[in-house]
């Protein structure tokens, strides 16, 4: 399936699910995550937004990242479009990490069901739908220690229906097993095990050879 077809189908599905207004778990835009550090990020920039990848219902999306220091991962941020039936409070997300398998998502090594979900309306929109900033904080028993500096794959899956991950052109995100030339906006949050976090900019990391 081509990127254009995915966007077309995604847009039609969202248009069917959405009414004239969107409901959501709106919170203060000033989210306190002062006890967490950014371990890796592909930072959201509205001017870069171009596509969406569905990641709810029968659809699953993954994108890769690589930490430059050993760390405890304790949360994530992502940017999402929601369907009309998004309830109050927000529905949980299911998160999955996979090993890399020659540039594609491989075996699963960690999963978590996240109920600590904070939604903030960014004020931006795509295809006429609001873009939401999502903060996902893990329960302590779900913290995961990453002690490798290899590529890993993250799946952020919404347990509702008609949700989609916001993306930009370029990259190698996967949708239902197919590689796309897209990169999803997301941030890995946590606590480094060393004295600090080495900078790991998305542009530099993506430029590295496999």
Range of the domain at 146: 3-207
The C-alpha atoms of residue 130 and residue 115 are separated, in whole angstroms, by 22
CA R_g for the chain: 16
Continuous segment of H or E residues that includes residue 71: strand 71-81
The residue-averaged pLDDT of 70-75 equals 96
pLDDT bin (cut points 50, 70, 90) of residue 87 is: low
Residue-wise pLDDT for 146-157, tens only, equals 998 899 999 999
The C-alpha atoms of residue 154 and residue 11 are separated, in whole angstroms, by 23
Residue-wise pLDDT for 5-40, tens only, equals 444 344 434 433 433 233 333 333 435 565 899 999
User: What's the pLDDT at 70?
Assistant: 95
The residue-averaged pLDDT of 85-102 equals 86
The residue-averaged pLDDT of 86-96 equals 83
Residue-wise pLDDT for 119-153, tens only, equals 999 999 998 889 999 999 999 999 999 998 899 99
What is the SS3 assignment for 178?
A: strand
How many separate domains does the chain show? 1
- Asked if the model's pLDDT at residue 197 lies above 70, the reply is no
User: What's the pLDDT at 32?
Assistant: 56
What are 115's two structure tokens?
């109920």
Percent of the chain's residues with pLDDT above 70: 73
- Asked if the model's pLDDT at residue 53 lies above 50, the reply is yes
Residues 6+ apart with CB under 8 A from 41: 77, 186, 187, 188, 202
């Amino acid at each position: 399936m081509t990127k254009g077809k995915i966007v077309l189908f995604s847009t039609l599905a969202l248009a069917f699910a959405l009414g004239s207004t969107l409901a959501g778990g709106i919170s203060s835009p000033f989210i306190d995550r002062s006890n967490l550090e950014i371990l890796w990020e592909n930072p959201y920039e509205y001017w870069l937004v171009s596509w969406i990848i569905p990641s709810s219902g029968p659809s699953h999306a993954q994108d890769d990242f690589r930490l430059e220091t050993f760390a405890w991962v304790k949360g994530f941020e992502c940017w999402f479009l929601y369907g009309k039936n998004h309830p109050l409070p927000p529905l949980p997300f299911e998160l999955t990490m996979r090993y890399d398998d020659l540039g594609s998502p491989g075996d699963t090594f960690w999963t978590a069901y996240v109920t600590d979900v904070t939604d903030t309306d960014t004020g931006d929109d795509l295809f006429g739908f609001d873009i939401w900033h999502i903060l996902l904080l893990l329960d302590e028993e779900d913290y995961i220690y990453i002690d490798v500096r290899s590529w890993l794959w993250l799946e952020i899956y919404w347990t509702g229906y008609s949700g989609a991950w916001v993306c930009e052109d370029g990259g190698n995100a996967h949708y239902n097993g197919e590689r796309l030339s897209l990169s999803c906006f997301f941030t890995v949050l946590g606590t480094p095990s060393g004295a600090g976090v080495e900078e790991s900019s998305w542009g530099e990391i993506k430029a590295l050879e496999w």
